[in-house]
Structure 1
Amino acid sequence: MTIHTLSRLQSNFILNTDSYKESHYAQFPPGTESVFSYVESRGGRFERTLFFGLQMFIQEYLSRPITRDMIEEAADFYARHMPGSPFHREGWEYILERHQGLLPIRIRAVPEGSLVPVRQVLATIESTDPRIPWIGQFAETAILRAIWYPTTVATISWHVKELIRGYLERTSESLDGLPFMLHDFGARGVSSFESAALGGAAHLVSFQGSDTVAGVVAANDYYDAEMAAFSIPATEHSTITAWGEPREVDAYRNMLDRFARPRSLLAVVSDSYDLERAVGFWNRELRQQVIASGATVVIRPDSGHPPTVVRRTLQQLAQGYGTTTNAKGYLVLEHVRVIQGDGIEYDSIGEILAEVERAGFSAENLAFGMGGALLQRLDRDTQKFALKACAIRIDGQWQDVFKRPREDPQKASKAGRLTLLHNPEFGTWRTQRVEEPIEPGWREALQTVYENGVAMNRQRLAEIRTRADAALGAKTRH
């Protein structure tokens, strides 16, 4: 498959689905006028999800009209791919002519950056033209994928931020460095460039450090950020080992010569041969140059048992550069810091921070680089995402739609036209039917973000970050 083919597929929404969806137009009951569906996280690793990413999908896919060439391409494909199921040309021609190629659906969603308990409605999809009531469910594959992946990444990133913040509150005088304590190293570990963009942008709801260029550009463009994240000069093993083991210290000195300036940051991986020996170089041969430069040098130990290696590196650097004791009674390194990028995921971050705290060091001495566990080591079941039909209008009457598998009650779905309510005073959320009255203190939480080809309620990254940060440490009740 050529790059040209991938680009063409990306632009043709009729092919952005599962094969069996093409036959569903003929499967709904006679008289069907509209189908109403919802998206939720049914549980998973975390009890709350941070909603993010739908705006990228709306701008990239739903704002791009279907054309006659797309219809012809799809007709040819399905004729050969599903010869027993006639392609629904009439429906797609109607969308082209009546709706100028844009989908007649209404999508309502919770504001991005909202932290919502699992098993609550996050978004709803409703078809708006009775001639083509199947169109919302046809879009399920693309819409669910657009929600579950970036929302799961944003959820992981937010919970890591909450974890790190707890240690900072106990061991540091300031939270100023928190936005830069988890750096995105995941670009090379994802399955596609688009994943790097979507997942990389999702991470930036909670943090401002990233080496995933695609994610930073996506956050800038889709969410109107001037610059969503920042990075610093840093080595990789090739730029150290290229000097050869006998000249290892020269490789480090070159980094100082090139990049160490007053108030600057640079990161140097130091385990290419012998981490303890390398830290010895930093403590002796390079110490005066580090101090004189006015820079902060971030040492990266990348081998061994992470909690043990990080603690030992801090202790060894403390011998070379000295420490101060902050008001909380914890040690803070002078001139240097440590970043751990190997074996990093939610649990290991907690283990490292606990070990460091036990050793008497403040969490502010550390940063973390997270790759595959941030952007790739997750799937739809990490938070058990689902998009399900919950109501159908037949001959003018709305009817409930739901599933109740006797063999697996956890897969039971919700019934009726649904919405999400929020009680700001108590920080609680509740899913209820749209026709039910809203009690005092509760507010409608869903807003229309797309209707019949028009994107609405565009959100900026700054306001999304503010919303997510407001939830840090909050006692959200179900």
Structure 2
Amino acid sequence: MITENIIIDTDSYKASHYLQYPPHTQYIHSYLESRGGKYPYTRFFGLQYLLKRYLSIRITREMVQEAKEMLEAHGEPFNHAGWMHIVEQHDGKLPLEVRAVPEGSIVPTHNVLMSVVNTDPECYWLVSWFETLLMRVWYPTTVATQSHYLKGIIREALEKSSDDPEAEIAFKLHDFGSRGVSSQESAGIGGLAHLTNFMGTDTVQALMYGRRFYNTPMPGYSIPAAEHSSITSWGKEHEVDAYRNMLTQFAKPGKTVAIVSDSYDLKKAINEHWGTTLRDEILESGATVVIRPDSGDPAAMVRMTVRALDAKFGHTINSKGFKVLNAVRVIQGDGINEDSIREILAVLLGEGYSATNVAFGMGGALLQMVNRDTLKFAYKASAGIIGGEYQPIYKDPVTDPGKRSKDGILDLVKRDGKFETLQGKEFGRYSEDSLLRVVYRNGDLLIDESLEDIRKR
């Protein structure tokens, strides 16, 4: 049994497409773009993973046979001769060239992000075949884009209210999304996409993907933190003992520990347990204790928690005139999205508290509540060589002008501070100042970067 047959990682109807192109088709050029959507730009990420994990696999006779048997039984024709040509003439390496913007780049929507062309005229049909697989770069790109956009919202609040925004921003949005996604793969590459912007995560698969596919030994960090089961296992009568145990185990000088505090009565937990019984232990520990209110309206709960902690622990005033709590902080991990982040920050700053006091934990909304139409991703053919002649390829539906695709040999440049997609007519000829790099050719990954390289962009 073949464990990873990339031939059959496609859509059924792709199997018949080699018979649908015009006679004497030799080359096809396709491209990827965001046609707009929720954000005005994309932060491109995840292609290296797809190329390294999947398109670097060599095609074998066994793969071809398995795909033939499956697709023909499924009701589709199969290009057995074409795939065997790849096995025999290319030693199983895919005769494709992929050009793309550097990962981590911020590119306005409606611009080419990636192009794909065949390098063997016998394999023109291959460019479309792998649309299904390559299109999946939409997912990590969308997660990275959303995360980057939220970072901008948080950064703005920090710049208004914090003494050192750059030192704080990296850990202000923590990934709790692993349990909220549909697969281990989504957790891995989606969680790593978030780490192009931030450094905090509880998604262990993201760490593994960073190590395996992006040359980064440790992409992100976490801290000891309580969950409801570890607190409530002590029983309601011993809630304070559960909290004291957290301090005993983890509240060391210079360390940080997070403790969920709404298992029974959040106000009582803050005012009696944290603010009275355990107050001196917290102050003497030298640690930062992060209280997690969790349930309830996010903005209201954070405001109540910050106010209550301020009454018990006090605050200092920073250089920008905002209050910073002593020894304690707050993290809100329930109901976090763009709207609630904006509301929480507006409430805190409106009451004179620095954004230093709060961090956010985001789960399903970060890694799962996105889809291909969040940024309207499309992978389309835009040019071909047919019978030795250049042929523009595009669609222009009267019923939806927004879906008009680009034609030509596409390239991306930045001139006078503005991105521009160029539409040429000559295969293999690109601008000298092109932002697209050849990242893959004929089965080989040509650029293999670290997450740190990408973060720097």
TM-score by length of 1: 0.93
- In 1, are the aligned partners of 2:36 and 2:110 still within 8 Å (CA)? yes
Give runs of aligned pairs for residues 32-47 of structure 1, distance below 5 A: 32-47=25-40
Q: 2:326 is aligned with what amino acid?
A: E
Q: Secondary structure at the match of 1:449?
A: strand
Give runs of aligned pairs for residues 76-87 of structure 1, distance below 5 A: 76-82=69-75, 85-87=76-78
Partners of 2:256 and 2:356 in 1: CA distance: 15
- Give 1:431 shift: 0.1
Does residue 115 of the first structure (1) align with residue 106 of the second (2)? yes
Q: Which residue of 1 aligns with 2:421?
A: 431
Which one of the candidate residues 16, 24, 27 is aligned to 2:9?
A: 16
Which one of the candidate residues 436, 443, 447 is aligned to 1:446?
A: 436
Give runs of aligned pairs for residues 279-294 of structure 1, distance below 5 A: 279-280=270-271, 281-294=273-286
Which one of the candidate residues 150, 153, 156 is aligned to 1:163?
A: 153
Does residue 268 of the first structure (1) align with residue 259 of the second (2)? yes
In the alignment, structure 1 segments of 5+ residues that lack a partner are 468-478
1:142-162 CA deviation, whole Å, 9 max, x = no partner? Answer: 0001x1000000000001111
Deviates more, 1:381-390 or 1:391-400: 391-400
Does residue 154 of the first structure (1) align with residue 144 of the second (2)? yes
Q: Secondary structure at the match of 2:120?
A: coil
Partners of 1:427 and 1:228 in 2: CA distance: 31
Which one of the candidate residues 64, 72, 76 is aligned to 2:65?
A: 72
Partners of 2:376 and 2:348 in 1: CA distance: 34
Q: Which residue of 2 aligns with 1:48?
A: 41
Q: 1:407 is aligned with what amino acid?
A: T
Partners of 1:217 and 1:170 in 2: CA distance: 36
**TM-align CA RMSD:** 1.4
Partners of 1:443 and 1:361 in 2: CA distance: 47
Q: 2:227 is aligned with what amino acid?
A: E
Give runs of aligned pairs for residues 361-440 of structure 1, distance below 5 A: 361-423=353-415, 426-434=416-424
Q: Which residue of 1 aligns with 2:205?
A: 214
Q: Secondary structure at the match of 1:210?
A: coil
- Give 1:435 shift: 5.2
- In 2, are the aligned partners of 1:204 and 1:219 still within 8 Å (CA)? no
Hey, which bits of structure 1, 4+ residues long, moved more than 6 A? Answer: 436-439
Q: 1:258 is aligned with what amino acid?
A: Q
Give runs of aligned pairs for residues 158-307 of structure 1, distance below 5 A: 158-175=148-165, 176-280=167-271, 281-307=273-299
Does residue 341 of the first structure (1) align with residue 329 of the second (2)? no
Count residues in correspondence.
453
Q: 2:171 is aligned with what amino acid?
A: F
In the alignment, structure 2 segments of 5+ residues that lack a partner are none
Partners of 2:320 and 2:425 in 1: CA distance: 53
Partners of 1:218 and 1:346 in 2: CA distance: 26
- In 1, are the aligned partners of 2:210 and 2:217 still within 8 Å (CA)? no
Which one of the candidate residues 298, 301, 307 is aligned to 1:309?
A: 301
Q: 1:211 is aligned with what amino acid?
A: D
TM-score by length of 2: 0.97
Q: 2:332 is aligned with what amino acid?
A: Q
Q: Secondary structure at the match of 2:27?
A: strand
- Give 1:438 shift: 8.6
Q: Which residue of 1 aligns with 2:319?
A: 327
